[in-house]
Structure 1
């Protein structure tokens, strides 16, 4: 490996490498943990950034995984130091883990920059922890490798495989339609989440794990090895070894996170039927490393076939995906069909193509051939029009084909509370052809842009057998969800975007094939409505982090990062003189 046989100039040496008063104190304080003298002698200090938390159940096993990383670091001649950062798990955190993604990114960035570490291992799992830690690390630009906690084992319910997240959407609709009893609905709880790990569908957690691997910032197979599988622990050990080598090679994030790497990730999201949340997170990560990425770049995924047959777009689950060969098979398939930049560098020092050229598919039902996909054009679509001048997104692979081009009357919900008040009303004026519109659930609106965009259908229509309708909002939806759902409408309603002007009975036209979303009213009338809304707008003061969030968060098309966090600030830090 490069760096062997020569004395390295390590970043940590500015803390531990001097024999003055400061060096004395830094070493002395660390020695209270039983660290011997020779560990301060030019050995790479590797930070293990851990999002373990008992309140983030998907990451509840990361303490064990951290020990495996430490073993690898020690074997390679490094010194592991584990540290915690804010763990923003989607499953428990209210109102949304997206509200605190930037907080976790700030925590990560400052912890990395301010401490004596030469390289960092990011231990991630539940979906927002992955972009948050990668955003923070990208702003520091040290050698970095990602280790994901891995997906749960397949859920098992009434003799069938069931997907975490997706099952609850399905069974709740069945319950509201009167097809199953309350006891039958609740009996699925323990069946859905029966092991450690993240959601086992191609939800946001699995999508982000695949993105990490396609970006080249993890070792091959990181995306899909199930959390309880011993091979997940082996990967953690090998990642610990590799980060020490990366420090010696000075292989920083900026050398891996190129524009080609981001385009590779966009195409990978199409091929796996990935979550719409990827649009926001990839933009935010790119912004931190200084790569120009826009909504228009998602056009690179439009013609990519969806070949991974996983819920919610398909049939199988992440455990099956790993046994079928995992993401390396997908990356090889795309590269062989001239869709990926195979020469993009990865953290193991090899190119994407070098890593995947020998990958084999062991189940063509789970990973379909390129020529016979489950969807011919599965990429996330960007929509524009007078209702979304800065863009909106839709996931065709999770939608009903007959609704991807649709015109219908709006049924408007001014907030999520308003939706909950109206949706169960048997007298609600709504039909299967209506377009459900939810406002004030964007970055500033909910706040935090909660995953409420996939509004449940009204019970009276469910009982008639209606299973999908066009739904439009400035919110997000869980990657485990499905339906013809238009999301991330920008500007959001709280910023007096055109979405705020929609009224009951207005006609809305959606054409996902043409990429358009239009409110069918006169432009002068639209302008008058927006002007009136702006005159009524109140400046809400909340105090605390929430006020900071609302004042400084960017819109969905810009990645919802804070405006003052965009960019790479590097790892330099002023010396501390005690």
Structure 2
């Protein structure tokens, strides 16, 4: 039985596989029909890929199978054929040595799946920290119509009458146990209350930051970022996305049409306004590199330097993602920036409307959660980019998560050669350290760890915590979880493992941090620094084989996005020759 419908307005990419009566066309269609697909689904309608990072090993994304079904409904309603496929799912909470090591692998998986299969458009199902940038990176490299559907944050954690923020509470409670303020039994009891629904972190961590980036960049429908994972409206927006991608294919609306320089500058300003994760720096640089938009570390400071943080969410503030959604979510933030002339409303979005058009009629329902621009949580939020002889290629710090009294500081270095050295010595009561010291962690960058783990927010020595010290200056070439906090200098580049100046810092060296002046200085004579660098030898041996070897050989520095050198720039929507 077949049905007729109006022909599609133009020849589709999938027609190279399914559109015709040749032996090869019949081969492709006949195998697909073993799934019970009716013949008229191959009558020239668009084939929409549902690129799913669902995995039970990735708790943030374990509910994406249900959302994918909602997307399929929308695709069918709009006259398309949805076909779901899995890609590598780098889960933040379990992967070793770090999920960041596998972001590029996931992006490669996405790109090759899109390039090799008969797809006209794709819905990107993401949630956990690295899955969102990885899917966007892969889709940008192919540049076919694409839309992001996020899994959404968990409900608020609840413990002893208060809210528990995923990640942030973990760091806080862990320190409290070390200082004796909290018992181990209390900590274990709180564990049961931290993650009480499907979804990603309920703080403004990396997952929520990157969901917000997908929305402000224009690759997700308005409101996508903040809807809780278990809210029925999350399912509805997934279905809307399924409908919308079909129209995007009809209009040939591609990432390259949306991800302009303007879109990235809007995103940088938004990171400051929401108090977003420092991880956004690396991911946006990588996404820009894939789509061919010139974006540098200095753009972060130039564009976002004076943006106030107005979202009062942990780790910088008080509330969690549930309250953010109930207050109106990201559109409220974008509207505030737009009205103040800090956002370009002409940027195009996947909705087919400009950013300004999507924000018409937006209302702030809770000014304590999303504050007015003239009553910010932090007057200058965003990401501060530091430079100096300790970070010639740059380093970053998140002012909204740091202690004001440490934003200008001079202290004696206490150096840890790597994360194992840190773990071996940090609890030693005889460690020569006080609250004025600067903790320095080496060899934890992209090549050094390998993968650049989230170990930059080193826990303080117990001897300091017991004195009531809650924060110290910490410097590394590593990353920090978006849920973490503190006066932590990250992404120091060049990293120690490639011979950056961080590698030659020694115990007792004096280090100066001046965030206002954007300065990070090793107070050692130039000739002494040169001599140390001349005598430097790598402390990290390259992996012998496998993906780790590929990663070590080709990963770039944090200052350019830590992507692989051979993946920069798009490669177009090529259709390979049929091998049958």
Query: How high is the TM-score relative to the length of structure 1?
Result: 0.98
Choose from 430, 447, 453 the match for 2:456. 453
Unaligned ranges ≥5, structure 2: 1-5
Answer whether contact 2:448 2:540 (CA < 8 A) is retained: no
Match of 2:170 in 1: 168
* Paired residues of 1:204 and 1:480 also in contact (CA < 8 A): yes
1:513-552 → structure 2 map (5 Å cutoff): 513-534=516-537, 539-552=541-554
Structure-2 residue corresponding to 1:506 = 509
Query: Where does structure 1 lack aligned partners over 5 or more consecutive residues?
Result: none
Q: Is the 8 A contact 2:8 2:45 kept in 1?
A: no
Confirm or deny: 8 A CA contact 1:393 1:488 kept in the other structure. Answer: yes
1:394–1:485 Cα contact (<8 Å) kept: yes
- Kindly indicate whether the alpha-carbon contact (under 8 Å) linking 1:8 and 1:42 is maintained by their aligned counterparts in 2: no
Deviation at 1:570, TM superposition (A): 1.1
Pick from 358, 370, 374: which aligns with 1:371?
Answer: 374
Contact 1:388 1:499 in 2 (8 A): yes
In the alignment, is the contact (CA less than 8 A) between 1:107 and 1:136 conserved in 2? yes
Q: Secondary structure of the equivalent of 2:566?
A: coil
Alpha-carbon separation, structure 2, partners of 1:475 and 1:102: 17
1:295-444 correspondence runs (5 A): 295-299=297-301, 300-444=303-447
* Kept after mapping to 2: 8 A contact 1:47/1:121: yes
Deviations 1:85-113, CA, capped at 9 Å, x for gaps: 00001011111000000000000000001
Q: Is the contact made by 2:417 and 2:443 (CA closer than 8 Å) also made in structure 1?
A: yes
**2: distance between equivalents of 1:213 and 1:408?**
41
1:223, distance to aligned residue in structure 2 (A): 0.3
**Equivalent of 2:492, from 484, 489, 494?**
489
| Secondary structure, aligned partner of 1:156 | strand
- 1:516-564 CA-partner distances (Å, limit 9, x unpaired): 1000000110011011014x66753421100110000000001000000
Distance change (3 Å), C-alpha of 1:480 and 1:515: same
Q: Which residue does 1:37 correspond to in 2?
A: 39
Q: Report how far residue 203 of structure 1 moved.
A: 0.2
Describe the SS at the equivalent of 2:492.
Answer: coil
Instruction: Give the secondary-structure state (helix, strand or coil) at the position aligned to 1:139.
Output: helix
Partner of 1:553: 555
- CA distance in 2: counterparts of 1:23 and 1:210, whole angstroms: 41
Q: Deviations over 1:288-322 (max 9, x none)?
A: 00000001111211111000000000000000000
35-44 or 456-465, which deviates more: 35-44
For 2:489, what is the secondary structure of its paired residue? strand
For residues 483 and 135 of structure 2, the distance between their equivalents in structure 1, rounded to whole angstroms, comes to: 22
RMSD between aligned residues: 0.9
TM alignment of 1:19-418, pairs within 5 A: 19-299=21-301, 300-418=303-421
Distance 1:554 1:543 in 2: 19
2:542 and 2:552 in contact (8 A); partners too = no
**C-alpha separation in 2, matches of 1:531 and 1:308:** 47
More displaced, 435-444 or 565-574? 565-574
Q: Is the 8 A contact 1:7 1:42 kept in 2?
A: no
Relative to structure 1, the CA distance from residue 80 to residue 6 in structure 2 (aligned partners, 3 Å threshold; closer, same or farther) is: closer
Distance 1:93 1:539, change over 3 A: closer
Q: Distance in 2 between matches of 1:507 and 1:7?
A: 68
What is the deviation of 1:7?
A: 3.0
1:391 Cα deviation (Å)? 0.3
What displacement does 1:18 show?
1.9
Deviations 1:498-531 (A, max 9, x none): 0000000000000111101000000110011011
Q: Give the structure-2-normalised TM-score.
A: 0.98
Is contact 2:497–2:540 with CA below 8 Å preserved after alignment? Answer: no
Secondary structure class of the residue paired with 1:320? helix
2:435 counterpart SS class: coil
Distance in 2 (alpha carbons) for counterparts of 1:118 and 1:428 = 60
In structure 1, distance between residues paired with 2:143 and 2:362 = 30
Q: Tell me the CA shift for residue 190 of structure 1.
A: 1.7
C-alpha spacing 1:537/1:273, structure 2 compared with 1 (3 Å): closer
Whether the 8 Å contact between 1:139 and 1:288 is mirrored in structure 2 is yes
2-structure distance, mates of 1:547, 1:577: 31
CA contact (8 A) 1:316 1:366 kept: yes
